[in-house]
Chains A and B, each alone.
Chain A
Amino acid sequence: MTAVETWQKSARAIAADVRAGRLTAAAAAAAGFEGPAARWEREVHAVLSTDADARARAAAKAPTSARLAGVPVLLKDNLCTVDHPTTCGSRILGHWRSPYDATVVRRLREVGAVVVGKGNMDEFAMGSSTEFSAFGPTRNPYDLARVPGGSSGGPAAAVAYGLVPLALGSDTGGSVRQPAAFCGVLGLKPTYGRLSRYGLVAFGSSLDQVGIFARHVGDVAEAYEVLAGDDPFDASMREGVAPDVSTWDAGVKGLRFGWPANLWRAGVDGAIVTALETAAGHLERAGATRVPFEFLPGTFAVATYYLLATAEASSNLARFDGVRYGRRASADELTALYARTRGEGFGPEVRRRILLGTYALSAGYHDEFYLKAQRARTRIVREYAAAFARCDVMLMPATPTLAFALGEKTDDPLAMYLSDVFTIGANLAGIPGLSVPMGLAGGLPVGVQLLGPADAEPVLLRAARALEAEGRTGDMTKGYEREFAWPGKR
């Protein structure tokens, strides 16, 4: 049997090797880039920026006795870093270099993790396929003709094909959970306010959360423990101590999982429905109980979200005006400078959303659109609260379809928006969600989603672990570890 190579290992296994002196942080950080991933990356395009010198410098500084010692991490390119550019997948930031690290980045570095580069994304996290990156799309490692999902498509794909065991993204409407499902990895969107957003470039501030990608449930728990916690630089942090996720392997005996089957009665891929039944069976055999109920269709959440998120985005993105940073269009008058800089710098989807949000907030339409959406949001929050009075977690699809083809939805914004129909509710309600891989169907990853009430991260991880322990979630990693062949190349 071939020994498992470093690039194939979990974050915890790499850290254990570094702590024990069996592996240097430099070798750990270089492993993904020297393995087969270096070849695959040319076709997948998960990474926007990386360089060997920066990796070596970061590895040299990493404490080698800490809990994530030497663990290579890829960051979505909307997380600020001092040693790599931060582009947000946009041209408008030009050659901007952040003068500070995001709090989550600082926390990772403090425990020995090595930032190896920045991952591709839809421009300003607006998109569900990573096709709206100004620097070209990322491709799904399982089928290069398909999208990896988005907006955090680069980090998701990189974890899937083994460049890194751990990556961070951001999730405003599903941007961690949807690409995780398309790429066959775990993707956690924590409870609103549990991970600091200082240094995360803002999109929709009442919705944005930093999220975690990994191939192992234990790695998600480990990263969550490192990242969750108070930050005086983020005024929107949730009060109280972050939940203890060290119980991630404690089993699901007595757990009640909600089963809102009306949501997938129509319009959901058969492979996903099968995966839900399989997952439910695993949970029941492990001692959990199924609680069927009806739930509000996700289309209402999509309608609510695309009014609120765009309204917030139109305000947040006002800062990109060519005055203090980024590129500047030439103009001899200030208003023209703003308008031309923004017109030239923003891509099509960002322009659409800024205009939609500006309209929803404008005089005469504010009540009809923005305020109505705020009321609908309250209704959705209540709907989840009622569900979680009856169950501890909800089991449901992460996405209505498997990874779709490149170009399939780029000309139809509404079709693209509806690919978030199962993920958006969690952002509106501020609750945690976890996308869990359930193996392959026709060569493509199939994911399911677990949702819980605020601070239910430990329960989500326990349920995900119960599924992982059944062997289904590890199929892909084990498959290519065993065969040493690239799945996308079969």
Chain B
Amino acid sequence: MAIDRAEAARIAELARLHVPGAELDRLAVELSKVLEFAATLNQLELSDEPLTAFAPAAAALRADEPDGRTFDAETALANAPEAEGGFFLVPPVVEDLEP
């Protein structure tokens, strides 16, 4: 099996996604199944294939002028779960700032 319970927990932490412990085993099985299926790509000879680039050939450029369509702070904050004084409010990121 490509992914065990510990690996599933590690991926969930990387993804900043809380998964209840009871679900980890099932997720490990499901993800392993999909990865085993994905291994069918090994049947194709791909070493000479370049990577796909899906951006337009040349980036579209325009004149560097503001076009007026912009949001003020009030609109941008209208959907915020918590906001204060024109800012998004979050729990402390850095602690013990006292010298």
Which A positions have Cβ atoms within 8 angstroms of B? 94, 96-97, 99, 192-193, 206, 232, 235-239, 299-300, 302-304, 306-307, 314, 318, 321-328, 331-335, 337-340, 342-344, 346, 351-352, 354-356, 358-359, 362, 369, 371-379, 381, 413-414, 417, 430
Contacts and interface: CB of A to CB of B under 8 A. Distances in A.
A438 to B, nearest CB: 30
A334 B89 CA distance: 11
Interface string B40-84: 110110110111101111111010000100010001101111100
Given A303-B40, A373-B41, A325 B80 contact: yes
23 contacts: A99-B78, A239-B56, A304-B41, A306-B34, A306-B38, A322-B81, A324-B79, A324-B88, A325-B81, A334-B92, A339-B18, A342-B18, A351-B19, A354-B15, A355-B31, A356-B31, A356-B34, A358-B15, A362-B11, A375-B51, A377-B52, A413-B33, A413-B34
B84 to A, nearest CB: 13
A99 B35 CA distance: 39
Contacts of A238: 56
A326 B52 CA distance: 34
B51 A371 contact: yes
B17 interface: yes
B14 A369 contact: no
A340 B81 CA distance: 14
Given A239-B56, A369-B35, A373-B38, 6 more contacts: A235-B56, A239-B57, A334-B93, A339-B16, A344-B18, A375-B51
A97 B15 CA distance: 26
B90 interface: yes
A333 B18 CA distance: 14
A328 B82 contact: yes
B12 A375 contact: no
Given A334-B91, A413-B33, A359 B3 contact: yes
Given A235-B59, A239-B58, A376-B49, A300 B81 contact: no
Contacts of A307: 38
Nearest to A296: B44
A323 B88 contact: yes
A346 B93 CA distance: 24
B57 A414 contact: no
Contacts of B46: 372, 375-376, 379
A469 to B, nearest CB: 36
Nearest to A343: B18
B54 A192 contact: yes
Interface string B19-47: 11000000100110111011111011011
A372 to B, nearest CB: 6
A99 B75 contact: yes
Closest 7 CB pairs of A and B: A343-B18, A328-B81, A325-B79, A375-B49, A339-B18, A375-B46, A206-B54
B80 A299 contact: no
B90 A323 contact: yes
Contacts of A302: 37
A189 to B, nearest CB: 15
Nearest to B94: A334
B17 A346 contact: yes
Contact of B79 (A97, A239, A340): A97
A333 B93 CA distance: 7
Nearest to B45: A379
Contacts of A232: 60, 62, 67
Contacts of B30: 352, 413
Contacts of B54: 192, 206, 430
B44 A237 contact: no
Contact of A236 (B38, B55, B76): B55
B78 to A, nearest CB: 7
Contacts of A342: 15-18
A439 B27 CA distance: 40
A278 to B, nearest CB: 32
B40 A300 contact: yes
Contacts of B47: 375
A307 B46 CA distance: 16
Contacts of B13: 339
A376 B52 CA distance: 9
Contacts of A359: 3, 11, 31, 35
A344 B49 CA distance: 41
B11 A358 contact: yes
Contacts of A304: 41
A307 B60 CA distance: 29
B60 A239 contact: yes
Contacts of A99: 71, 75-76, 78-79
A193 B57 CA distance: 12
A378 B92 contact: no
A331 B91 CA distance: 8
Contacts of A339: 13, 16-18
A321 B82 CA distance: 13
B15 A378 contact: no
A414 B14 CA distance: 24
Nearest to A379: B49
Contacts of B8: 355
Contacts of B39: 303
B78 A97 contact: yes
Nearest to B12: A355
B4 to A, nearest CB: 12
